């Protein structure tokens, strides 16, 4: 098909005259054809160029544009223009994809402490804005960018997982060795990461390789230090446990058992964390035991104090010089008055203690021990001794009265 769609009119005159009359029209038609050819060349050239860019062959794109001169219609030109528009749209979409990928690479590299330019250059040099060459936007490059981003996300997750593990180890080691705050401060950012997920980490430099290595080195250092300090820590906890037991008058773990544990610490045949956890459990149980015994122990202490006063009062009562005017005698008199009051309250106190102790033992299904001796036995023994003393006192009073009556009768007989 050609641009000449109308039939030439029949003209009169000589052939030369006829040629001269149609020459201007022919010239115009040639100009229009050349203009149309140029339009096709431009459009087809752009199509070829963009297609090469999308295919990743922009450097080897052919500069020769072949136009089919048999079809220079506007319809065909419009088809090429539509194709060019479609390719432009695809190119823009690919450029936007590349931009998104490179933005993510920049962001992740900042978090991980990596050189984003080097990473992008490794994908393809054309993606570096400073290169000044056409960006490769082929499927192969987009796939490589996608793989690179996925790899960076995976590295980000792996580093965070590693810091989570190291951070937990740090917390355990700090707790075990009572590490002071100033020594913990340099790794506070690692501890802060324990409560966040990978998607929430965005601060620049928060997951650098240097941070991971420093944290690893600190955990290794503390782990080595732990072994040397473990015996000291165990000793402290042992002393704490013994103090609780001593105050509550409960049985202290045997020295043989503690010595065996100490030997295991020295040999490295026991897990330090498990050991201290076990000691903490024993301390917690001892505290709970002490709390459950507290009210009874307060009564026992009062009873013990009253028993001491009772013994003193018995000795004082047998002292023939107790009413003398010697120095300090008035103080002893006042103490004796207070002791008699305390002693008079002891039967009720002991009865209350027996009731409370029996309730405690029934509730826990075990014996209430006081320095390894059952408290009930101590209380019952005291009651028995008290009854014996009371009976002895009564027998003595009867004997005195009987002796007094005998002496009186004897005196009356003599007088008569």
Confidence class for position 408, pLDDT limits 50, 70, 90 = low
Name the pLDDT band for 376 (thresholds 50, 70, 90).
very high
pLDDT of residue 320: 63
Cα 170 from Cα 192, distance rounded (Å):
12
Domains and CATH numbers, the chain: 288-317+332-415 (1.20.58)
CA quadruple 85, 88, 94, 96: dihedral positive or negative?
A: negative
The C-alpha atoms of residue 47 and residue 53 are separated, in whole angstroms, by: 10
Tens-place pLDDT, residues 287-336? 998 999 999 999 999 998 988 888 887 777 776 665 665 666 677 778 88
Give the DSSP H/E element, type plus range, for residue 345.
helix 329-364
Q: Is the pLDDT of residue 394 over 90?
A: no
Q: What is the mean pLDDT of residues 394-409?
A: 66
What pLDDT shows up at residue 125?
79
CA 183 to chain centre: 18
| Residue 53 near residue 137 (C-beta atoms within 8 A) | yes
Residues 395, 401, 402, 404, CA torsion sign = positive
pLDDT in tens, 164-206: 999 999 998 888 778 899 999 999 999 999 999 998 998 999 9
pLDDT at 362 over 70: yes
Instruction: Give the confidence band of 151 by pLDDT, cuts at 50, 70, 90.
Output: very high
| Angle of the 74-112 helix axis to the 139-177 helix axis, nearest 10 | 20
What SS3 state is found at 370? strand
Task: Evaluate if residue 101 carries a pLDDT over 80.
Answer: yes
Q: Determine the 3-state secondary structure of 374 from DSSP.
A: strand
Q: Do the beta carbons of residue 111 and residue 207 sit within 8 Å?
A: yes
The pLDDT of residue 111: 94
The model's pTM is 0.54
Confidence of residue 217 (pLDDT cuts 50, 70, 90): very high
- Flag whether pLDDT at 275 surpasses 90: no
Distance CA 238, CA 257 (A): 11
| 372: phi then psi, degrees, rounded to nearest 5 | 70, 0
Residue written as token pair 């026991």: 270
Cα 252 to Cα 186, 188, 244, 284, 371: the distances in Å are 41, 39, 9, 14, 9
The pLDDT of residue 269: 60
Q: At what angle do helices 116-123 and 74-112 cross, to 10 degrees?
A: 140
Cα–Cα distance between 200 and 185 in angstroms, integer?
Answer: 22
Round the average pLDDT of the chain to a whole number and report it: 82
Residue of higher predicted confidence among 274 and 385: 385
Tokens of 408: 């009186």
Q: Calculate what percentage of the chain has a pLDDT beyond 90.
A: 29
207 has a pLDDT exceeding 80:
yes
d(CA 58, CA 330): 119
Q: What is the pLDDT of residues 42-89, one digit of tens each?
A: 888 888 888 888 887 766 555 677 777 777 888 888 998 999 999 999
């Amino acid at each position: 098909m050609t641009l000449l769609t109308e039939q030439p009119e029949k003209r009169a005159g000589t052939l030369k005259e006829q040629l001269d009359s149609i020459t201007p029209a022919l010239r115009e038609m040639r100009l229009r054809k050349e203009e149309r050819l140029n339009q096709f060349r431009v459009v087809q050239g752009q199509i070829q160029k963009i297609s090469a860019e999308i295919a990743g062959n922009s450097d080897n794109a052919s500069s020769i544009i072949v136009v089919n001169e048999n079809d220079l219609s506007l319809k065909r030109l419009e088809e090429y223009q539509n194709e060019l528009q479609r390719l432009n749209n695809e190119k823009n979409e690919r450029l936007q994809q590349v931009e998104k990928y490179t933005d993510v690479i920049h962001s992740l590299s900042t978090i991980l402490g990596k050189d984003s330019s080097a990473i992008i250059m490794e994908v393809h040099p054309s993606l570096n804005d400073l290169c000044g060459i056409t960006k490769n936007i082929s499927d192969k490059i987009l796939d490589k960018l996608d793989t690179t981003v996925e790899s960076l996300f995976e590295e980000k997750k792996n580093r965070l997982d590693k810091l989570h593990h190291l951070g937990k180890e740090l917390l355990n080691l700090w707790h075990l060795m009572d590490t002071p705050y100033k020594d913990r401060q340099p790794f506070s950012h690692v501890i802060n990461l324990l409560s966040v997920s990978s998607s929430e980490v965005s601060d620049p430099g928060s997951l650098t390789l240097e941070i991971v290595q420093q944290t690893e080195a600190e955990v290794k250092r503390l782990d080595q230090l732990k072994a040397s300090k473990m015996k000291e820590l165990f000793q402290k906890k042992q002393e704490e446990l013994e103090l609780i037991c001593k105050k509550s008058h409960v049985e202290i773990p045997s020295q043989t058992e503690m010595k065996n544990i100490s030997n295991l610490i020295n040999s490295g045949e026991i897990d330090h964390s498990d050991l201290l956890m076990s000691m903490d459990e024993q301390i917690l149980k001892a505290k709970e035991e002490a709390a459950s015994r507290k009210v009874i122990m307060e009564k026992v202490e009062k009873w013990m104090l009253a028993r001491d006063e009772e013994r003193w009062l018995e000795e004082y009562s047998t002292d023939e010089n107790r009413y003398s005017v010697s120095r300090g005698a008035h103080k002893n008199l006042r103490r004796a008055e207070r002791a008699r009051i305390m002693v008079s309250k002891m039967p009720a106190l002991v009865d209350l203690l027996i009731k409370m102790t029996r309730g405690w033992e029934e509730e826990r299904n075990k014996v209430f021990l006081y320095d390894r001796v059952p408290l009930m036995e101590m209380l019952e023994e005291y009651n028995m001794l008290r009854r014996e003393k009371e009976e002895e006192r009564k027998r003595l009073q009867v004997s005195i009265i009987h002796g007094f009556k005998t002496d009186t009768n004897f005196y009356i007989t003599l007088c008569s």
